[in-house]
Amino acid sequence: MEIFDGPEALRAAIGQEIGVGEWITVDQAMIDRFAEATDDHQWIHVDPERAARDSPYGATVAHGYLTLSLVPRFIAGVRRLEGLRLSLNYGLDRVRFPAPVVVNSRLRGRVRVAAALDVAPRGLRTTYGVTVEIEGAEKPACLAEAVVLHHW
């Protein structure tokens, strides 16, 4: 876990990988909960029998947005910001889903600080480059730049 004691320390990490998170398993229960939350019940996500028969992957796959929703978890898992008052999601840049996440895949996030811009007073708009890796796969599940507004 990388510890940053203020905006100066985080700014100094621009261009550096700050950590690789723990593996998490994306199981059918997680996929089903996401389908319920988003009302996206497409068969390729929620019907294991049909997916086994008709999907090119031979099983259900996670929603791309489920994978994307894990990005804040991966960032939080590799860094701690001491003295922070609050953080706000500012948005996302350059999101791609190069490979599907087949049910029961294990994912982890590889996180780097891509950019940081001072925001008054004592704030930092930080862009985290996140690569969501699939255990044993050549291609990542997701590439995204998450932009977070931190206030100390």
User: Which CATH number does the domain housing residue 107 bear?
Assistant: 3.10.129.10
57 is a domain residue: no
Asked if residue 51 belongs to a domain, the reply is no
In a domain, 19, yes or no: yes
Residue 122: the pLDDT is 86
Q: Is residue 10 included in any domain, yes or no? A: yes
pLDDT given for residue 121 in this prediction: 86
Torsion sign (Cα): 45, 48, 53, 56? positive
- pLDDT confidence of residue 128: 98
**Structural domain count of the chain:** 1
Taking the C-alpha atoms of residue 28 and residue 103, their distance in angstroms, rounded to an integer, is 6
CB 69 within 8 A of CB 8: no
94-133 burial string, b = 16+ CB within 10 Å, else e? Answer: ebebebbbbbebebbbbbbbbebeeeeeebbbbbbbbbbb
Supply the pTM of this predicted model.
0.96
Q: What is the mean pLDDT of each run of 10 residues along the chain (152 residues)?
A: 95 98 98 98 98 98 98 98 96 98 98 96 95 98 98 94
